[in-house]
């Protein structure tokens, strides 16, 4: 099958460092004057020279976002259904080798979590699990989807990659969005960070968003886990991937996320730290390259920073997140997948948005039964 993989292969041996160093301020200014950016224009915005034009990029990104999305921000939150996982991703606390308490919510517990979250007013939900292959895991997920869709108007999943048939079954059960991060587009780094388990299969994961588009999910969100590898090339491939999917599957809403790795209780330290200024540059470059793509910002980032990032292109934010399995109904739940930084309640996030002149939107989709 023709896939994004071929585009990545075309960059084999491409000297990112040399290209980025060679970008001049004049070139960046030229890109800022364009309406439609080529992939190399986009890459130029990830250069050190572009870092000197952050304010100009921010002004344009803000204008474009307001124009296309208005003054509204979608709110959503995750439910961690289970933390069983067969993989050994070295950066993740749910890693198979980690000695943590493993559990999977029961039907009653899922119902309880959904009720607790729905009581905060949220109507868009994202279901997460670790990777547990097999039919049982799929049936479990489908059961969870059927439960939560009674409480929420939009149901997303962030789970292990699946084949088109499984995605179709999930879409039928009521899932309308798929989120899947490729973690790192660099094959060598990918291989090193995923020492064992099905996740080792780079290509299977890389093509998952495309299989999601083929299965007809309304929205597909992608991203790289920032901090695993040198960020300009990761951001570049993420943008290229998003634009590949958007061009090929016009009916799908392709969104981008910018998750920055957090040191979990397992104390993984990012190998290639992404500083706040870098994160800003990545966000702005995405917005200028894909003016109509949704951009999500999670509670991995601290409250104050989230408030500042808001006008730079963000269209979706999580709120009231808990990353522990059962964390909404069980106060003694453990540490979760990573520590949440923005611990504000849904109400507090809503108030912040209103104070900043935004309308918090809880519902942006109707399930057509």
Partner 1 sequence: MDRLVIGGRELKSRLFIGSGKFADESIIGDIVAQTGVEIVTVALRRVSLSGDGDNILRCIPKECVLLPNTSGARTAEEAIRIARLARAAGCGDWVKIEVISDNKYLLPDNNETIKATRVLAEEGFVVLPYMHPDLYAAKELERAGAAAVMPLGAPIGTNRGLKTKEIVRILIEECRVPVIVDAGIGKPSEAAEAMEMGAAACLVNTAIATAGNPLVMARAFSQAVEAGRLAYLAQPGETTEYARASSPLTGFLRS
94 binds, among partner 1, ligand SF4, none (CB under 5 to 8 A by kind): ligand SF4
- Which residue, 77 or 93, has its beta carbon nearer to ligand SF4? 93
Tell me how far CA of residue 74 lies from CA of 77, 84, 175, 241, 362, in angstroms.
Answer: 10, 30, 17, 23, 6
SS3 326: coil
Rounded-to-integer distance, Cα 30 and Cα 27, Å: 5
> Of 84, 204, 79, 190, which Cα lies nearest the Cα of 133?
84
* Residue 42 touches which member of ligand SF4, partner 1, none, C-beta under 5-8 Å by kind: none
Residue 357 CB, nearest approach to partner 1 (Å): 5
Residue number, 68 or 97, with CB nearest to partner 1: 68
The residue with tokens 């290209």 is 19
| Shortest distance in whole angstroms from residue 131 CB to ligand SF4 | 4
**Is 121 or 270 the residue whose CB approaches partner 1 more closely?**
121
Interacting residues with ligand SF4 (CB under 6 A): 85, 87, 89, 92, 94-95, 130-131, 199
Chosen from ligand SF4, partner 1, none, partner binding at 307 (C-beta under 5 to 8 Å by type): none
Complex with ligand SF4: residue 60 or 194, whichever CB lies closer:
194
CB of 118 to ligand SF4, least distance (A): 25
Which does residue 95 touch among ligand SF4, partner 1, none (CB within 5 to 8 A, set by kind)?
ligand SF4
What is the spatial distance between Cα 173 and Cα 162, in angstroms, rounded to a whole number?
15
Task: Select the binding partner of residue 357 from partner 1, ligand SF4, none (C-beta < 5 to 8 A, by kind).
Answer: partner 1
- Chain contacts with partner 1 (rule: CB under 8 A): 66-72, 121, 123, 153, 218, 246-247, 250-254, 292, 354, 357-359, 361-366, 368
C-alpha distances (whole Å) from 113 to each of 63, 148, 151, 171 are 38, 9, 10, 22
Question: Which residue lies nearer to ligand SF4 by CB, 111 or 335?
Answer: 335
**Cβ at position 270, least distance to ligand SF4 in Å:** 14
Output 187 or 362, the one with its CB closest to partner 1. Answer: 362
Which residues, 6+ apart, have CB-to-CB distance to 80 below 8 Å?
128, 129, 322, 323, 324, 325, 326, 327, 336, 337
- Of 230, 302, 219, 227, nearest to 258 by C-alpha is 227
The listed partner (partner 1, ligand SF4, none) that binds 311, CB under 5 to 8 Å by sort, is: none
Burial of 292 (0-12, 13-18, 19+ CB in 10 A): middle
Q: Determine how many CB atoms are found less than 10 A away from the CB of residue 148.
A: 23
């Amino acid at each position: 099958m023709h896939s994004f993989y071929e585009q990545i292969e075309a960059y084999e041996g491409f000297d990112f460092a040399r290209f980025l160093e060679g970008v001049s301020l004049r070139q960046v200014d030229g890109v800022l004057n364009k309406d439609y950016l080529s992939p190399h224009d986009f890459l130029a915005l990830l250069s050190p020279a572009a870092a000197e034009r952050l304010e100009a990029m921010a002004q344009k990104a803000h204008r474009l976002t307001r124009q296309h999305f208005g003054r509204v921000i979608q709110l959503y939150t995750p439910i961690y259904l289970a933390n069983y996982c067969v993989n050994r991703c070295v950066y993740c606390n749910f890693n198979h080798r980690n000695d943590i308490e493993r559990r999977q919510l029961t039907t009653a517990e899922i119902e309880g979590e959904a009720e607790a979250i729905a009581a905060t007013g949220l109507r868009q939900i994202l279901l997460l699990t670790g990777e547990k292959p097999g039919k049982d895991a799929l049936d479990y997920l489908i059961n969870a989807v059927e439960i939560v869709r009674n409480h929420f108007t939009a149901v997303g999943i962030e789970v292990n990659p699946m084949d088109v048939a499984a995605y179709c079954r999930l879409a039928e059960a009521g899932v309308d969005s798929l989120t899947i991060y490729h973690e790192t587009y660099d094959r060598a780094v990918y291989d090193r960070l995923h020492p064992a388990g099905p996740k080792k299969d780079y290509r299977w994961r890389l093509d998952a968003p495309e299989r999601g588009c083929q299965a007809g999910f309304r929205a597909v969100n992608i991203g790289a886990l920032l901090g695993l590898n040198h960020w300009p090339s990761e951001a570049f491939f993420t943008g290229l991937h998003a634009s590949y999917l958007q061009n090929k599957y016009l009916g799908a809403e392709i969104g981008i996320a910018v998750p920055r790795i957090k040191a979990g209780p397992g104390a993984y330290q990012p190998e290639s730290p992404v500083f706040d200024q870098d994160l800003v540059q990545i966000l702005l470059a995405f917005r200028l390259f894909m003016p109509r793509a949704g951009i999500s910002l999670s509670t991995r980032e601290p409250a104050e920073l989230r408030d500042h990032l808001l006008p730079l292109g963000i269209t979706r934010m999580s709120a009231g997140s808990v990353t522990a399995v059962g964390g909404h109904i069980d106060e003694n739940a453990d540490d979760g997948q990573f520590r949440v930084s923005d611990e504000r309640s849904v109400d507090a996030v809503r108030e912040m948005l209103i104070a900043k002149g935004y309308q918090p939107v809880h519902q942006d989709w109707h399930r057509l039964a």
